[in-house]
Amino acid sequence: MKNIVLFGPPGAGKGTQATILKEKYELMHISTGDLFRYHKSNHTELGQLAKKYADEGKLVPDQVTIDMLEEEVNKNLDKNGFIFDGYPRTISQAEALDKFLEAKGKKVNGIIALEVPQDLLEARLLERGETSGRSDDMNIEKIRIRFQEYNTKTAVLKDYYFPKGNYHGVNGVGSIEEITARLSEVFDTL
């Protein structure tokens, strides 16, 4: 089983690349952002709760997110492994993921970070907002709140994973195919 965390700020291309790599490596793609959007559009209790945060560009509280992620993994234990996209986003989530996988005799095999300069991220998100229908992509204020959340709560995960020796930075600027090729080089070593 191969469990990969695809890491990076909003707009880095995690979702785009996970969709391609899940086919190539026969892994299940779990995006916590997609799961929250699914719950929101289905008006579940979890969706109502997540909406308050997600619509503002803020992170949903850890325990809610951790429970949702674990439930999704538990439903799919027959899979070859997972590509986690947008999870973990805090130290608590990373610790919870390690503990959760360890209890199953598994681990995170690698963290691959897509590195993209901030001005390009903003442009990508605004462009995506024109077609994605995502309200959090259409408003520059909300985009900036998401970057602030990333910079204050998520970016520190590099310091969490790097000493474990399984953190890999990849240049996220280029064509989709170029970036898939760079990510595949790392995937093949994990």
Handedness of CA 178, 182, 183, 188 (dihedral sign): positive
Q: Is 13 in the site for ligand AMP (CB under 6 A)?
A: no
CB-based closest residue to ligand AMP: 33
Beta bridge partner(s), residue 113: 7, 169
Binding ligand AMP (rule: CB under 6 A), the pick from 3, 6, 7, 65 is 65
128 is catalytic: yes
Binding ligand AMP (rule: CB under 6 A), the pick from 59, 112, 143, 183 is 59
Report the site for ligand AMP in 146-185 (rule: CB under 6 A): 146
Strands 2-7 vs 110-115: parallel, antiparallel or unpaired: parallel
The 3-state secondary structure of the chain, one letter per residue: CEEEEEECCCCCCHHHHHHHHHHHHCCEEEEHHHHHHHHHHCCCHHHHHHHHHHCCCCCCCHHHHHHHHHHHHHCCCCCCEEEEECCCCCHHHHHHHHHHHHHCCCCCCEEEEEECCHHHHHHHHHHHHHHHCCHHHHCHHHHHHHHHHHHHHHCCHHHHHHHHCCEEEEECCCCHHHHHHHHHHHHCCC
Q: Which of 106, 134, 153, 158 is catalytic?
A: 134
Q: Is 12 in the site for ligand AMP (CB under 6 A)?
A: no
**Residue 81 contacts residue 161 (beta carbons within 8 Å):** no
182 is catalytic: no
CB of 142 to ligand AMP, least distance (A): 9
Binding ligand AMP (rule: CB under 6 A), the pick from 8, 13, 33, 129 is 33
CB of 189 to ligand AMP, least distance (A): 26
Q: Is 129 in the site for ligand AMP (CB under 6 A)?
A: no
Q: Is 22 in the site for ligand AMP (CB under 6 A)?
A: no
Which of residues 46 and 54 has its CB atom nearest to ligand AMP in the complex? 54
Q: Is 17 in the site for ligand AMP (CB under 6 A)?
A: no
The residues annotated with a catalytic role in the active site are: 14, 89, 128, 134, 146
Residues of this chain that interact with ligand AMP (CB under 6 A) are 10, 32-33, 36, 53-54, 57-60, 65, 86-87, 89, 93, 136, 146
